[in-house]
């Protein structure tokens, strides 16, 4: 696996990566999305690292039991230098293809601890941290970052820091931390990163179709894509991109194919002894994204968020999806409140 990922990085073929999304892109989701073609490389949910942390068992499970046959990169988040070094050394005892440092999570609880996107307020701290990680990491070392904390004014300085540490890959989500997911993605910053960094750069943010993926790659010169929310909504997206690039017909699912996927998600989010209400809450984390691609008014999104039973959930999904009409699953401009999770901090 390690060699396979290194070969992807050193080659010229575009890379398709699944973005890590906390409490969403877990082992069971990997099993499901792999059935639809899946990405070339999977990034884990982030391991929370601090002075007394241990490696989360459920994330380790996705590494050890990886059912896809594709490389797995372990993502870490934190700001404690000694703890980070300790954790990445422990992670390398498992079959990881690389280590990825999260410099982008906009969740306030993370940023207050000077972790994730919060570290972007202190490029000097990032410099020290990357120096220590580069010494401790023998597998490919990568970074997933935003373009700044509350502005992109220091982006060039950040690129200079990243360039100093022999990184193997950098993923750029071209929004600031405080913008979260509300603004347009500024792909010109990805292009700047491509020009400034000696390693492959992946583009992240608002890649929701094969056509969009191709346009973004052409505009930025990136080596590939890291896709999160677009893959939750449309698990066919990785295969659609491959087909478009190969000149083959791009598969478009109909409503019943999407319904089958949703039923698969319902099964994937179940667990022994999990109460029905808790199960519904788990699958709603995925349905938030899927609902944006089903119909334009927001009625389905509004209704699915309010179901409380599996029977009600299935009835509503069948009402909207039990048909043979094609669904592009590209997001509609569904009206969202300013504090809506889809416009806020979800999806680190």
> Could you tell me the CATH number of the domain that includes residue 46?
3.20.20.70
107 and 195, same structural domain? Answer: yes
* Separation between Cα atoms, residue 245 and residue 311, nearest integer Å: 41
262 and 129, same structural domain? Answer: no
13 vs 222, residue with greater confidence: 222
* Separation between Cα atoms, residue 23 and residue 205, nearest integer Å: 19
267 and 317, same structural domain? Answer: yes
79 and 150, same structural domain? Answer: yes
172 and 104, same structural domain? Answer: yes
How many domains would you assign to the chain? Answer: 2
Average pLDDT in the chain: 94
Query: For this structure, is 317 an active site residue?
Result: no
What mean pLDDT is predicted for residues 113-138?
95
Neighbouring C-beta atoms of residue 106, cutoff 10 Å: 24
Range list of β-strands (E), the chain: 15-18, 41-43, 47-48, 72-77, 98-103, 141-146, 169-173, 201-204, 224-227
Q: Is residue 335 part of a domain?
A: no
236 and 268, same structural domain? Answer: no
| Phi and psi torsions of 234, nearest 5° | -140, 90
Range of the domain at 39: 2-246
267 and 212, same structural domain? Answer: no
Residues 6 or more apart whose Cβ sits within 8 Å of residue 11: none
275 and 158, same structural domain? Answer: no
What mean pLDDT is predicted for residues 316-339?
91
Q: List the catalytic residue out of 105, 169, 199, 348.
A: 105
Quick: pLDDT tens for 177-211: 999 888 889 999 999 999 999 999 999 999 999 99
The per-residue pLDDT for 344 is 55
163 and 262, same structural domain? Answer: no
The per-residue pLDDT for 112 is 87
The per-residue pLDDT for 182 is 80
Stretch (H or E) spanning 111? helix 108-111
Neighbouring C-beta atoms of residue 234, cutoff 10 Å: 27
Q: Is residue 22 part of a domain?
A: yes
Quick: pLDDT tens for 50-71: 999 999 999 999 999 999 999 9
Q: Is residue 264 part of a domain?
A: yes
264 and 231, same structural domain? Answer: no
């Amino acid at each position: 696996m390690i060699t396979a990922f290194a070969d992807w990085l050193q080659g010229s073929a575009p890379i398709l990566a699944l973005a890590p999304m906390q409490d969403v892109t877990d082992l069971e989701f990997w099993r499901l999305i792999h059935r639809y073609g899946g990405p070339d490389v999977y990034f884990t949910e982030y391991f929370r690292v601090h002075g007394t942390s241990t490696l989360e068992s459920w994330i380790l499970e996705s590494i050890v039991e990886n059912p896809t046959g594709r490389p797995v990169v372990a993502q870490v988040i934190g700001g404690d230098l000694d703890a980070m070094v300790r954790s990445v050394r422990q992670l390398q005892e498992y079959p990881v293809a690389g280590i990825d440092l999260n410099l982008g999570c906009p969740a306030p609880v993370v940023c207050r601890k000077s972790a994730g996107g919060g570290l972007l307020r202190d490029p000097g701290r990032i410099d020290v941290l990357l120096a220590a990680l580069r010494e401790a990491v023998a597998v490919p070392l990568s970074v997933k970052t935003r373009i700044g904390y509350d502005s992109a004014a220091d982006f060039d300085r950040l690129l200079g820091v990243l360039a100093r540490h022999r990184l193997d890959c950098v993923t750029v989500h071209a929004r600031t931390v405080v913008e979260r997911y509300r603004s347009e993605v500024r792909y010109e910053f990805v292009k700047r990163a491509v020009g400034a960094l000696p390693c492959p750069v992946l583009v992240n943010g608002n890649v929701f179709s094969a056509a969009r993926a191709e346009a973004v790659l052409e505009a930025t010169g990136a080596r590939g894509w890291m896709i999160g929310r677009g893959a939750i909504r449309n698990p066919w997206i990785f295969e659609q991109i491959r087909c478009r690039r190969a000149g083959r017909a791009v598969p478009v699912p109909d409503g019943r194919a999407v319904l089958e996927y949703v039923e698969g998600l319902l099964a994937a989010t179940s667990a022994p002894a999990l109460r029905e209400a808790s199960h519904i809450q788990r699958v709603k984390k995925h349905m938030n994204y899927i609902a944006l691609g089903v119909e334009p008014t927001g009625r389905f999104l509004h209704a699915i968020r309010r179901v409380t039973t599996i029977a009600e959930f299935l009835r509503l999904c069948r009402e909207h999806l039990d048909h043979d009409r094609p669904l592009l699953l590209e997001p509609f401009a569904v009206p969202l409140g300013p504090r809506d999770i889809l416009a806020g901090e979800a999806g680190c």
